[in-house]
């Protein structure tokens, strides 16, 4: 079943009289449960595409269907609810609250959800266990390694049981060993049936996905399956 369908998506920014077209006629389909990587050089439109697919921005033109409903059918309040309930974000900079514990950071999305408060702790603990950080439950971010911080961010992204997780350069600030641990956690989410959209400039990270979509100058240059025999092991063998 198609979770995300995009047809002729275009995004243009205006600064006075200057017009900058960042995305041009992007068309793609992502099935529920797929693991997609989006690659491309700086300025190719990767982050803009993520912002559009994650309802952080609206396209200038074109059609975007999420779960068979057009984005134009949603109000801004509807989109805010969708971001909270159906979408999880993982960013390169972690974006953790520095004075909050791991448990408190992971609970945060639940505060803005319709999920009953009496279940928050159980859900947060389960998410933390999924990424292997139960022993760090009461640690603050300053007490964690970079890889551990990113795994906290992954737990926070999945605590509301989203339909899709968008990961924007999740290993960009990490060494290869920590990057491997983070990708192992993301692979576990995919194995559990999550839809994953990974933005990355690293080929070895992209090869954990099932498909690699390459952007150049705001357009899709290629959309091809990954050679799976190369994926899944290389980071752990370093």
pLDDT single digits (tens) 144-200: 999 999 999 999 999 999 999 999 999 988 888 888 889 988 998 999 899 999 999
- pLDDT above 50: residue 235: no
Mean pLDDT of 37-57: 93
Supply φ then ψ for residue 149, to 5 degrees. -60, -40
Confidence of residue 88 (pLDDT cuts 50, 70, 90): very high
Q: What is residue 34's predicted lDDT score, i.e. its pLDDT?
A: 96
The model's pTM is: 0.88
Check residue 230 and give its pLDDT: 47
Task: Look at residue 236 and tell me whether its pLDDT is greater than 50.
Answer: no
Mean pLDDT value across residues 118-146: 95
Summarize the confidence of residues 11-30 as an average pLDDT. 92
Angle at 166 between CA 154 and CA 212, to 5 degrees: 120
User: What is the model's pLDDT at position 233?
Assistant: 45
**Mean of pLDDT over the chain:** 90
Identify the CA nearest to 124 among candidates 100, 107, 141, 139: 107
- From the CB of residue 180, how many other CB atoms can be counted at a distance below 10 Å? 22
> Does residue 237 have a pLDDT over 70?
no
């Amino acid at each position: 079943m198609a979770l995300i369908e995009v047809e002729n998506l275009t995004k243009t920014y205006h600064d006075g009289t200057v017009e900058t077209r960042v995305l041009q006629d992007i068309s793609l389909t992502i099935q529920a449960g797929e693991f997609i990587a989006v690659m491309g050089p700086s300025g190719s439109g990767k982050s803009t595409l993520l912002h559009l697919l994650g309802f952080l921005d609206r396209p200038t033109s074109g059609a975007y269907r999420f779960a068979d409903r057009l984005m134009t059918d949603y109000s801004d309040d509807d989109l805010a609810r969708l971001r909270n309930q159906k979408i999880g974000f993982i960013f390169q900079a972690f974006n953790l609250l520095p004075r909050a514990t791991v448990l408190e950071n992971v609970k945060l999305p639940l505060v803005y959800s319709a999920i009953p408060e009496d279940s928050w702790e159980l859900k947060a603990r389960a998410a933390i266990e999924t990424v292997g950080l139960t022993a760090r439950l009461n640690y603050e971010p300053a007490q964690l390694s970079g890889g551990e911080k990113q795994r906290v961010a992954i737990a926070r992204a999945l605590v509301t049981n989203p339909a899709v997780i968008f990961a924007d350069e999740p290993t960009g600030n990490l060494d290869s060993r920590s990057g491997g641990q983070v990708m192992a956690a993301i692979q576990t989410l995919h194995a559990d049936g999550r839809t994953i959209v990974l933005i990355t400039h690293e080929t070895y990270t992209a090869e954990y996905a099932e498909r690699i979509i390459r952007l150049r100058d705001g357009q899709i240059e290629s959309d091809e399956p990954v050679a799976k025999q190369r994926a899944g092991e290389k980071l752990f063998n370093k």
